[in-house]
Structure 1
């Protein structure tokens, strides 16, 4: 059996100019990055009055058994294209952290991939490097201000802006900087987040244009002064320089699938520690250029799905016409208690227990008013009885389920799914926000926990309660909420699989992200800088004398 990268390396790539023409972009509206990649020049393009249907792909809570959300996203888009529908994909860019770590890339798999796969999963067009540079330039400017007489009276004990790196590196979570004597800066505690957790990343994906990007950067809170007043990028005077560093990164990237469906890939915030969606500009461009824009949100419906609805939809000005929840029989059996080693064996009892996770995620998405369908990403070991049980469980909460076999067959394996999506996209739906803008932070979080996770509500640490009181005084207490929570469970305990009941989500602290326009609530023991596993993927990646990469999935 061929690996993902072997399939991608054998693919016939069309020139990016042909993909752009297929998408309806003029030559002046793209900036080619070689033969098979391009930036879309938003200053001149996508000024059409057309708006297509928006299809959001999300999933159950992920497991080590695998779900294949990106693979289904690509396969669905290829199937829609094959059915004669003008289709585009809008996806996030992969982070080198997972690529070199545990999870892997984010370009789909098998015969349902976006290509050039290796380029996209590695350095691509340099967006993440630009973000990392801009973020750390801000860190340097902040520490330089403290060193150069501290004119802003920054309290170095209350600096909240960490540095970033796009690699998993647990050793950098907590650091001390400024050592080495009087000319090496002022000593203070610091730390690193992964680049995708940077507020710069959130801002890039929520900005509508270059000046909106600059205005948002100015609002970033980096520290507090000795009077406990916030210090912003505008105070430091470097917003213009940071925007210059991001002038190309803000432009969405155009590539293609194996079936030559145009795909826009842009931005990459994780959904467990950030908002988990590709850029507003990328999704808006796909909607403007195509009749069907297929996009996805990170991790499960409880994380990326909820944040797409509550954070991105208000900025995008368009709610999904259909939501697709991806599940596998294997993952659902694991949620029901079956051991990973036994997942190829039929176990209807474990599946019966595990489908509750699927049902909760369906109910969470139906809460917003759009039709919900289930894509059962099929594996060869799935039995007819197991597949029937999943379909019955979905139907019990008002969602139709169909099987998809896209890894092996690409778009041909998603014909039934595509037909169902087209049918449901014509149904009337009305978006219903989960919470009102005027709700307090606690009210917002309780609604998320109760309606999306199926829990009782939130419990705040003393630190979090004190922070909310300070935020209220500063006028920040009504901002939207991004829940930073484990992706493996509906609760904040990664070990509680399935659909746990009677649980409380514990919020230990908040991180204000004024440029992005939300508060991040850190729950449980979720980390903003991941670590490498015992056997990282990097140990299996190699390159030969001809420059041919192997081991990259």
Structure 2
């Protein structure tokens, strides 16, 4: 197939968003349209659905990926289309793409081939403005902090210990560490500062975990921005910032409705990364979809050690969701990389490397099963895959009691995932799911991290220096020990070393830093060399993006 993703998306025949809403029994008057192809859903309507029964929730996760990704979003879209193709009432729930990857290495996140959500250009770029609202609300708080210090510092904020950085939705390594307020007394008090990417913002996490406008404002007020000179926490509500932040986010809290190429409903809302944040779309969107569809397919970022773990231990725990089944996306090329082959050579047949790399798949299967959720493997087929390589994956999965199904949704749309759809329905309707989070709330923060590292990552233990250990103790003493943990680490390995592929064991997980997200209600545990502000690659995707003579965007993928 020679057509690019953007060519395929541009040739689609979308239905009016009013019709997509009607197919889910959403009245036109509760939709706020953005043009003809996307709309936000009114919160009052969402509240009116609370007494309706929930559909079945299906998670799509993946093995440890290559830098280009393994088609997790594509598979989510393909499976949603396939469920509708076999006569089920299904919807999908995705995260909104960040501009960072769009202009960086990975490209867009609207699916691919004939398994896409549309309008692809809008979704991958500004969409409905949610990320801009999140960026503005976050930076408003940053501005209020510096303004408060400038005008006398009534709260006695210790400027040396302000932990609230600024954010922007772009990869920019030059902004990781800066000094702000230079230029004299009129510009405030100089201090060390820095930027994170918007998808790592606690405001992003709060928007994705909030259940109402009231809950949103409460969580925003709970944000801890640093400490005062007595080392007591200072919150956003102490600065009277929560009201204005909530006002900026009022419309952004409404889930977005769009459609797939096959005119099936898609909720796209929120977008935290899974390697540095919790990696799931919004609770509002997922819960709304569950009230309106019989099957809801959602994805969680990167491999199951990151996205799925956080989906289960943070999102499902907090939102009281119970997934009925999970799909682990595998590709021949990623298994070859996990089997020791360089990414530049994954297009050549190598059955032995696939078999060796299946150790990675096996651990992900074991890990997802440890949450009590039944599993099927969806093989996202590429045109360079051989029958022998695909057979090796099926045999490996079968050894762990799991079926692996070859899918061609990228080239064939929903029909290409028909067999996977039937299997997912069978698992979901079997009642086999006995979902439970990995750890109990009552465990200490240290034990929660250790449980994930030893039981899911194959590590011998976790390590941290005296300063970080003191932070663990301080958070416990301040009453945050009951919170779940959100581990930030490389997506390329079960360890903290991105070069350690496959299924390593016996390693140590080094903890570099802790960040308390008191509003989002989890503790971020930063491990290894992971950065919360990514950098652009040597050849960023931005270099290939432009506008043609017809005013159309080119180069976006």
Short-chain TM bin: over 0.9
- Give the direction of change, closer, same or farther, for the CA distance of 1:190–1:5 in structure 2 (3 Å limit): same
Distance in 1 (alpha carbons) for counterparts of 2:477 and 2:385: 56
The alpha carbon displacement at 1:487 in A equals: 0.4
Contact 1:320/1:370, CA 8 A, preserved across alignment: yes
Distance in 2 (alpha carbons) for counterparts of 1:47 and 1:403: 40
Distance in 1 (alpha carbons) for counterparts of 2:401 and 2:448: 26
The alpha carbon displacement at 1:125 in A equals: 0.3
Distance in 1 (alpha carbons) for counterparts of 2:292 and 2:125: 27
The alpha carbon displacement at 1:46 in A equals: 5.8
Contact 2:66/2:343, CA 8 A, preserved across alignment: no
The alpha carbon displacement at 1:67 in A equals: 1.1
Distance in 2 (alpha carbons) for counterparts of 1:489 and 1:510: 21
The alpha carbon displacement at 1:345 in A equals: 2.0
The alpha carbon displacement at 1:183 in A equals: 0.5
Q: What does residue range 133-532 of structure 1 map to in structure 2 within 5 Å?
A: 133-428=136-431, 429-532=433-536
Distance in 2 (alpha carbons) for counterparts of 1:253 and 1:476: 33
The alpha carbon displacement at 1:431 in A equals: 1.2
- Give the direction of change, closer, same or farther, for the CA distance of 1:79–1:46 in structure 2 (3 Å limit): farther
User: What per-residue deviation string (whole Å, max 9, x for no partner) do you get for residues 451-476 of structure 1?
Assistant: 22122221112221011122122112
Distance in 1 (alpha carbons) for counterparts of 2:159 and 2:3: 54
Show the counterpart of 2:23.
Answer: 22
Distance in 1 (alpha carbons) for counterparts of 2:461 and 2:263: 46
Are 2:33 and 1:32 equivalent residues in the alignment?
yes
Distance in 1 (alpha carbons) for counterparts of 2:165 and 2:204: 14
Distance in 1 (alpha carbons) for counterparts of 2:45 and 2:76: 28
Secondary structure of 1:264's partner? strand
Contact 2:69/2:106, CA 8 A, preserved across alignment: no
The alpha carbon displacement at 1:44 in A equals: 2.2
Distance in 1 (alpha carbons) for counterparts of 2:203 and 2:69: 30
How many pairs were matched up?
553
The alpha carbon displacement at 1:370 in A equals: 1.2
Distance in 1 (alpha carbons) for counterparts of 2:346 and 2:189: 55
5+ unaligned residues in a row in structure 1: which ranges?
none
The alpha carbon displacement at 1:545 in A equals: 3.1
User: What per-residue deviation string (whole Å, max 9, x for no partner) do you get for residues 115-153 of structure 1?
Assistant: 000000000000000000000000000001111111111
Distance in 2 (alpha carbons) for counterparts of 1:124 and 1:65: 23
The alpha carbon displacement at 1:65 in A equals: 5.7
Greater shift in the superposed pair: 402-411 or 385-394: 385-394
Contact 1:70/1:296, CA 8 A, preserved across alignment: yes
Distance in 2 (alpha carbons) for counterparts of 1:317 and 1:471: 25
Distance in 2 (alpha carbons) for counterparts of 1:482 and 1:58: 17
Show the counterpart of 1:2.
Answer: 3
Distance in 2 (alpha carbons) for counterparts of 1:237 and 1:340: 51
- Given candidates 98, 101, 107, the residue that maps to 1:98 is 101
- Give the direction of change, closer, same or farther, for the CA distance of 1:343–1:402 in structure 2 (3 Å limit): same
5+ unaligned residues in a row in structure 2: which ranges?
none
Secondary structure of 1:44's partner? helix
The alpha carbon displacement at 1:71 in A equals: 0.5
User: What per-residue deviation string (whole Å, max 9, x for no partner) do you get for residues 351-408 of structure 1?
Assistant: 1210011111111100011110000111122222211111111122221110001111
Give the alignment's TM-score, normalised by structure 2. Answer: 0.98
Distance in 2 (alpha carbons) for counterparts of 1:17 and 1:431: 36
- Give the direction of change, closer, same or farther, for the CA distance of 1:65–1:97 in structure 2 (3 Å limit): closer
Secondary structure of 1:154's partner? coil
